[in-house]
Structure 1
Amino acid sequence: MAQYYIDPSREGFDAFKALPRDEPIHMLNLLRFRDEAEYPDGHDHAGKGWSGRRAYQEYGAASGPIFRRVGGSIVWRGAFQAMVTGPGDKDWHDGFVARYPNSGAFFEMIKDPDYQLAVVNRTAALVDSRLMRFEPGEGGDGFG
C-alpha cells in the first residue's frame, strides 16, 4: 500500500534542525498534485473547485515574497516525464530545487505568520511530496 507525505515527520524535522545552520542549503522538492484541492471547511478557497495545481499556484503567490525576503531562490525546476529508477507507481508532477542562504532563513520563512497562512494552500494542493535537504556542491562534466 502506498504511503503519502505532505508535512515533515518529527524525526525528519529533528534531523534537519541538527544539521549546521550557517551554510547554504538546497532543498529538493518533489510534488504530486491532487485532482481537486482539499481545503478545510470554511476556508476562503473551499468550494471553488480548484485543482491541486491551482492551489499550489496560490501557495507560490502568497509565499513567494517571504521566500525571496529570506534570500531564497529557485536554482532548478522541471516537469516530470518518466521514472527511470524507482517505484513505477511514484510519478511526480513537478520538481524543483530551492536554495536558501542557510537553514536559519528556512526557519524564518516557515515561522512567518503570513507563510503559515499561505501553507494551507500547499496542504490543500498536494496528495504526496518529498522535501530533502542537500549541501550544495559544484557542477561539472562528470558524475563523481
Structure 2
Amino acid sequence: MAEFHIDPSAANFAAFKNLPRDTPINMLNLLQYRDTAAYPAGHEHAGKGWSGREAYREYGRTSAPIFARVGGTILWRGRFETMVTGPEAKQWHDGFIAQYPDANAFFAMIKDPEYQQAVVNRTAALRDSRLMRFAPGEAGEGFA
C-alpha cells in the first residue's frame, strides 16, 4: 500500500528542530498534486473545482511575501519527466530547492499567521510530497 506524506511526522520534525538553526539550509521539495484540490468545508476556495496545481499556485502566491520576508529564495525549479533511479510507480509533478538563510528563518515563516492561512492551499493541493533539508555544499564539475 502506498504511503502519502503532506506534513512532517512528529519524529521527523523533532529531528529537523534538533539540527543547527544558525546555518544556511536548502530544502528539496518534491510535489505530486491532487487531480482536484481538497479544501476543508467552508474554506473560501472550497467548491471552486480547482486542480491541485491551481491550489498550489495559490499557495505560492499567498506565501511568497512571507517567504521573501524571511530571506528565502528559490535556487532551482523543474518539472518532473521520469524516474531514473527509484520506484517506477512514484511520479512527481514538480520539484524545487528553496534556500533559507538559516533554520530560524524557516521557523519564522511557518509560525507567521499569514503563512498559516496560506498553507491551507498547500495541503489542499498535494496528494503526496517530500521535503528534505540539506546543508548547502560546494558547486563544481564532479559528482563528489
TM-score tier after normalising by the smaller chain length = over 0.9
Residue 140 (structure 1) aligns with: 140
**In 1, Cα distance between the equivalents of 2:65 and 2:79?**
23
The percentage of aligned residue pairs carrying the same residue is 70
Superposition TM-score, scaled by structure 1 size: 0.99
Residue 40 (structure 2) aligns with: 40
Residue 57 (structure 2) aligns with: 57
**In 1, Cα distance between the equivalents of 2:57 and 2:81?**
20
Structure 2 runs not aligned, ≥5 long = none
Structure 1 runs not aligned, ≥5 long = none
Name the SS for the 2:89 alignment partner: coil
Residue 18 (structure 1) aligns with: 18
Residue 31 (structure 1) aligns with: 31
Matches within 5 A, 1:103-122: 103-122=103-122
**In 1, Cα distance between the equivalents of 2:27 and 2:84?**
22
**In 1, Cα distance between the equivalents of 2:126 and 2:2?**
15
1:35 Cα deviation from its structure 2 partner: 0.4
The answer to whether the aligner puts 1:68 opposite 2:58 as a matched pair is no
Provide Cα deviations, 1:34-72, integer angstroms capped at 9, x if missing partner: 000000000000000000000000000000000000000
Q: CA RMSD, aligned part only? A: 0.3
Q: What letter is aligned with 1:58?
A: E
**In 2, Cα distance between the equivalents of 1:50 and 1:30?**
20
Residue 8 (structure 2) aligns with: 8
**In 2, Cα distance between the equivalents of 1:75 and 1:133?**
14
Q: State how many pairs are aligned.
A: 144
Q: What letter is aligned with 2:94?
A: D
**In 2, Cα distance between the equivalents of 1:49 and 1:117?**
19
